[in-house]
């Protein structure tokens, strides 16, 4: 089963990595799933219009190109 996903690589301090590992294990989930859920929760707190061309006109200028047109219908 092929899925379209983007990879994100982050460097963590050893103490934070260990804490993440322990908490994820206690919740019987993977570090990946715990991290994805944490990111999703945090992003849900952000205003929906946070990064839009309407909210930030300078973004309209930056995003008005063929490469970024793929995101226009999202």
For a pLDDT cut of 70, what percent of the chain falls above it?
A: 68
State pLDDT tens for residues 20-56: 999 999 999 999 999 999 999 998 887 766 666 666 6
pTM over 0.75: no
Long-range contacts of 23-27 (CB under 8 A, 24+ apart): none
Structure confidence at residue 12 (pLDDT): 96
The tokens for 38 are 């944490």
- Across 3-17, 18-32, 48-62, which has the greatest mean pLDDT? 18-32
Cα–Cα distance, 14 to 21 (Å, whole number): 10
Instruction: Say yes or no to pLDDT of 68 above 70.
Output: no
Could you give the CA distance from residue 21 to residue 18 in angstroms, rounded to a whole number?
Answer: 5
Residues 6+ apart with CB under 8 A from 36: none
């Amino acid at each position: 089963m092929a899925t379209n996903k983007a990879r994100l690589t982050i460097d963590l301090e050893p103490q934070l990595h260990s804490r993440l590992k322990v908490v994820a294990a206690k919740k019987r989930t993977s570090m990946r799933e715990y991290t994805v859920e944490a990111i999703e929760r945090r992003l849900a707190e952000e205003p929906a219009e946070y990064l839009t061309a309407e909210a930030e006109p300078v973004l309209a200028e930056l995003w008005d190109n063929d490469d970024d047109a793929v995101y226009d219908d999202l």
